[in-house]
Structure 1
Amino acid sequence: MNVNSGIDDTQRSERWIQISFFIAAVFFNLCLATQVFSVGMAYFYNSDWWNLHIWLVRGYSGLSLILLVWVFLIPFPRRIQSLTASMPVLLGLQFLTIHLHTPFPLAVFHPLIGFSLFSISTTLVHRTSHIVFPNHNQD
């Protein structure tokens, strides 16, 4: 009888959850990069790209909430938890800056918040990769 079998199964399960989280975080980051590309194409090339920009955010923004729940399923470091928690907050601010009409044009903050979101998402991917693939990141 092998007593460690249950422990090994739990560790493998946690590892697959971490790997899946990492893949989802990479996908989220790629969606952000594509969205930035599409807004550049809409502004500098053809305004029809704007539809892709809007479609993308509506399509992947829910992934930030899924990642938020996911990050607390198994123990991730607090830094990864806080990076993940900040993404839906920043996406909410993105929506507010575009859709709220106030005397001061909040839309001026939209690109700055977008830059912060992309930076946080990229940092999340980087930090998660160090946890998921610890031996591959040593110099």
Structure 2
Amino acid sequence: MTVNPDIDDTLISIRWIQISFFIATVFFNICLITQVLTVGLAYFYNSDWWNIHIWLVRGYSILSIILLVWVFLIPFPPRVQRLTASIPVLLGLQFLTIHLKTSFPLAIFHPLIGFSLLSISTTLVHRISHILFPNDNQDNIH
């Protein structure tokens, strides 16, 4: 029996790339949670937190584009790809609802889109964790 070490090395490399992607999605999720906390701090505690809220999204939004490219370069299921692809779309809608001035106040959708963004990001982290770190008890849950 012959063993091809190149195949093993490729699988190990793909796995580490997937784990790196997972770490990046966790970081993105933490940034979203932090942003929600800063808006709460700005509203209920001290308005100076508002600047941090704004700078956070400006800082981490580029990560959504990086994740989008990354998810199509490595093997992940279509569901993970769709969840990842929806993040920059929702971030774009977030920017539009705040910056577009129309007769109808689009800003009323900003918190709803933010909730959707946090929900999708958390679901993405959950999905990837189940792919990378399967649990024997998972079969009994689904």
Query: TM class, shorter-chain normalised?
Result: over 0.9
Give the match for residue 117 of structure 1: 117
* Percent of aligned pairs with the same amino acid: 80
Compared CA separation, residues 92 and 5, structure 1 to 2 (3 A): same
For residues 56-71 of structure 1, what are the structure 2 equivalents within 5 Å?
56-71=56-71
For residues 1-139 of structure 1, what are the structure 2 equivalents within 5 Å?
3-135=3-135, 138=138
Q: Is the 8 A contact 1:64 1:87 kept in 2?
A: yes
Equivalent-residue separation in structure 2 for 1:137 and 1:56 (angstroms) = 38
What is the deviation of 1:3?
4.1
Q: State the SS of the aligned residue for 1:135.
A: coil
What is the deviation of 1:4?
1.6
CA RMSD for the aligned pairs? 1.5
Count of residue pairs brought into register by the alignment? 139
Deviation track 1:79-125 (CA, whole Å, cap 9, x = no partner) reads 00000000000000000000000000000000000000000000000
Q: Is the 8 A contact 1:94 1:110 kept in 2?
A: yes
TM-score by length of 1: 0.96
Compared CA separation, residues 137 and 37, structure 1 to 2 (3 A): farther
Compared CA separation, residues 34 and 100, structure 1 to 2 (3 A): same
Compared CA separation, residues 10 and 87, structure 1 to 2 (3 A): same
The code of the aligned residue for 2:29 comes to: N
Deviation track 1:54-79 (CA, whole Å, cap 9, x = no partner) reads 01000000000000011011110000
Deviation track 1:16-75 (CA, whole Å, cap 9, x = no partner) reads 011000000000000000000000000001000001100100000000000001101111
Q: State the SS of the aligned residue for 1:103.
A: coil
What is the deviation of 1:135?
3.5
**Stretches of structure 2 lacking an aligned partner (at least 5 in a row):** none
Stretches of 4+ aligned residues off by more than 3 angstroms: 135-139
Compared CA separation, residues 99 and 137, structure 1 to 2 (3 A): farther
